[in-house]
Structure 1
Amino acid sequence: MAASISDSTPTPNVEHILRGWRSKSVGIVLWVITIAALPTVLSGVVFGASRDKVTIVMLIVYLAIVAVACARHADYRLRGSTLIVAGFVMAANSLTRFGLEGSGRGYLIVLPIIAFILVGVRAGWVATGVSMLTYAVFSFLANNGMLAQWLDPAYNRLDMVMWATTGLTTVMLLITVVALFMSMYRFLLSALKSERAASAELLQTYDATLEGWAHALELRDLETAGHCRRVSDVATRLAGVTGVPHSGLHDLYRGSLLHDVGKIGVPDRILLKPGKLTDDELQRMQAHTTYAYELLVHIPFLLKALDIPYCHHEKWDGTGYPRGLKGEQIPLLARVFSVVDVYDALTSERCYRPAWPREKALEYIRQHAGSEFDPLVVEAFLDMAGRESPRMQPAH
């Protein structure tokens, strides 16, 4: 597991992914504009004899955009900035010849949006400032009568060429913005899927680490080999019929794996002692729940799973340890797990006693419902034991 992780390709960070998306999107937008603006350019060339200067500027800008669109290996920021500058030239060209009736206003609104998305925040604010300044300058010129000398005298509100040019330009801008937002939507959806996949992989790594911890603990006491895996599997199935929400099953599984992690603080002479423990030894053994709390409480990922290592020896009647919790004061995950833990321990062989027969262990669970165990959990456990006894049988 460790080797596969260390040898894997590092996951690119968000900035790297965003740069890749912007580079791709700049190319898409340039080609969308190249295709969408072609009718506008052709209409200006064919019908724009009286507007030579407008047509020439529009044609130069269009050819510049085509050239930048073909320069696929250029830096996306340079290509995007060239696109924005070309847009402002078109805006000034339209405002000079046709005033507010032309498509210049549309450019001034759309260009900052494109700059923010395709180039970056700084470019977006610069484009916003340029748009506001451009509008202010042309408003000043119009207010002082200085714009009148540049406005096309042949233009009137019924000029179909102007209607066509403005309409096609508006459509081009609309297509550009829609294509851009669709591309952004796909990017965000892809990023979300990648994030979920990365989170799932990280959780699998965490769980594999916990399983390694559990296995390491079992190596210390070979009599309990397989105990963590068995009780984790059975407790997870039992939780599904005892009111544990689906979101809590992962916490139950992790807590089950680590339920005896606190025993790393118990000396071997006590943990592996074949005979009866003295009072002092028993007190030290019971402290493993507190050791588990102190070990895991500082790990945010395991806080919800901590109820099991800390509380699985609490009893329904309040006679358990470490805190003497009673009834529903005991966390539900711990109440579910304790039944499974005791059953597996009773039906497993120990150096100080043989394994109990299945029916004897089930009878013990039944008799201690309401004293040691939650009666509702016991009822669900016995029902499950009757339906899937082979799967609950421990390896001796």
Structure 2
Amino acid sequence: MGKIEQRVSVSLKSRSYDIVIKPGLIDELGVRLQSLASTERVGIVTDRHVARHYLSAVVSQCKQAGLHPVSIVLPPGEKNKTLATVEKILDVLARERFERKSLLMALGGGVVGDMTGFAAAIYQRGIPFVQVPTTLVAQVDSSVGGKTGVDHRLGKNLIGAFHQPKAVWIDTKFLGTLPKREWIAGLAEVIKYGIIADKRFFVYLERTMPAILKLEPRAVMQIVKRSCEIKAQVVAADEQESDRRRILNYGHTIGHALEALGGYQSLIHGEAVGIGLVLEADLARHQGYCNSKTVDRIRSVVRAAGLSDRLTSPSLEKVWSAMQHDKKVSQGKVVGVWPNAIGRVRIVPIERGTFAEWFKTVSVGGSGRSRYTAKRGQ
């Protein structure tokens, strides 16, 4: 099949699957779907932005492979990640008489992937689906691991299910048509992996960020592959987030709160996580879990990626209240992930008093957006 591909296995016994990473993989989607599908009917779920770039080519490939593709084009953006949008997917599946063996393909970013996976999880109590992530956040994070779902007005991803894909197919060439703002935002998830699990990878990011920002192919392939390897290892050890998998939430406790406070419009996910990486490291320092040097290194690499490190809400009560709606809250306590050092973290609840003491020391400023504010697209 042409250019050399990289594979990362997600080992989950009967639910195991491969992540395939290959530039130009989009040209093989019809053949790959044919090898995986049990029926001719396949659903292609995407959004308007991605459809404009890629849908006609994918539909054509499916037809050439003898499949019967059904396109489901959704409105873009986190604000549309709702039960109402999932219902639109289910309406098409029912109208087109999809069966339990019919296959869905998520062609898009994390929002499309999460909603497609959730629809696949609940339609006829579960049908197979594959992930074809087109954004960096989706390629290195949300497409892997089987978390699916939608947002509630009180919090992000409060409604969902675990439903593993049959495969994850990553074409790094998708990133070339990604708006700069989306590309930069995705780097927050990449940086997260170095902090939580791999000191050497973090050092690589410190040294290579200029090449990464220029989308140099070898650097892009390296960060995508290593991020997927770390995610796969964590998921294999803890599929349903009962223990170790919670380390993947580093940066997300404050990050999700900031997303919610902005109505899922002022900050996109990676931008909010980037702020969360720095603030949660500083909060770890405040609690005595790590030293200032660790915080400074995290802040430096976040800034080098072009991401903001500034708190976007001046209100303690608003931020703390938004954190209370996080799905990781246990018995009313906010459970945080705190760096001990680069490559090591701990999972410990935090009290409101401790958070309030730290909050007084934090400066607030700016919109929190990265310096790249290009029009959002794919």
Regarding TM over 0.5, the answer is: no
TM-score, scaled relative to structure 2: 0.24
TM-score, scaled relative to structure 1: 0.23
Larger radius of gyration: 1
Q: Which structure's residues are more often helix, by fraction? A: 1
Q: Which structure's residues are more often strand, by fraction? A: 2
